Amino acid sequence: MMQVYGEKPCRGLKIVSCIKARKYLKKIYCAFLAHVVEKKPEKKTVEDILVIRDYPDVFPEDLPGLPPIRQVEFRIDLVPGANPVGKSLYRLAPSEMQELSSQLQELLDKGFIRQSFSPWGAPVLFVKKKDGSFRMCIDYRELNMLTVKNRYPLPRIDDLFDHLQGATCFSKIDLRSGYHQLRVNDEDIPKTAFRTRYGHYEFVVMSFGLTNAPAVFMDLMNRVCRPYLDQFVIVFIDDILIYSKTEHEHEDHLRKVLELLRTEQLYSKFSKYKFWLKEVDFLGHVINRDGIHVDPAKIEAIKNWTTPSTPTEIRSFLGLAGYYRRFIANFSKIALPLTTLTQKSQAFIWGPKQEDAFQLLKQKLCNSPILSLPEGSDDFIVYCDASNLGLGCVLMQRDKVIAYASRQLKVHEKNYTTHDLELGAVVFALKNLEALPLWY
Fill in the amino acid letter for 100: L
Q: Is residue 326 part of a domain?
A: yes
Question: What is the predicted pLDDT for the residue at 436?
Answer: 52
Q: Is residue 347 part of a domain?
A: yes
Counted domains in the chain: 2
Q: Is the pLDDT of residue 3 over 60?
A: no
Q: Is the pLDDT of residue 437 over 50?
A: no
| Same domain membership, residue 384 and residue 328 | no
Q: Give the whole-angstrom CA distance, residue 405 versus residue 386.
A: 12
| Same domain membership, residue 359 and residue 417 | no
| Same domain membership, residue 392 and residue 346 | no
The string of pLDDT tens digits covering residues 346-355 is 888 899 999 9
| Same domain membership, residue 384 and residue 362 | no
| Same domain membership, residue 411 and residue 384 | yes
The pTM of this model reads 0.75
Q: What does the angle CA 333 – CA 364 – CA 239 come to, to the nearest 5 degrees?
A: 100
Question: Side-chain half-sphere of 407: how many Cα atoms within 13 Å?
Answer: 14
Q: Is residue 307 part of a domain?
A: yes
The string of pLDDT tens digits covering residues 336-384 is 899 889 888 888 889 999 999 999 988 888 887 777 777 766 777 787 8
Q: Which among 308, 339, 367 is the end of a domain? A: 367
Q: Is residue 373 part of a domain?
A: no
Cβ atoms of residues 215 and 155 within 8 Å: no
Q: Is residue 420 part of a domain?
A: yes
DSSP alpha helix (H) spans, 265-307 = 296-303
Cβ atoms of residues 354 and 317 within 8 Å: no
Q: What is the CATH number of the domain that holds 342?
A: 3.30.70.270
| Same domain membership, residue 361 and residue 418 | no
The string of pLDDT tens digits covering residues 258-306 is 999 999 999 998 877 788 889 888 888 888 888 888 888 888 888 888 8
Q: Which among 340, 367, 394 is the end of a domain? A: 367
Percent of the chain scoring above 90 in pLDDT: 38
The string of pLDDT tens digits covering residues 230-258 is 899 999 988 899 999 999 999 999 999 99
Q: Is residue 342 part of a domain?
A: yes
Tell me which of 44-58, 216-230, 234-248, 331-345 is least confident.
Answer: 44-58
Q: Is residue 395 part of a domain?
A: yes
Cα 222 vs. chain centroid, distance in angstroms? Answer: 17
Question: What integer best gives the mean pLDDT of the chain?
Answer: 84
Q: Which domain holds residue 425?
A: 380-434
Q: Give the whole-angstrom CA distance, residue 262 versus residue 52.
A: 12
Q: Is residue 331 part of a domain?
A: yes
Question: Side-chain half-sphere of 376: how many Cα atoms within 13 Å?
Answer: 5
Q: Which among 332, 367, 402 is the end of a domain? A: 367
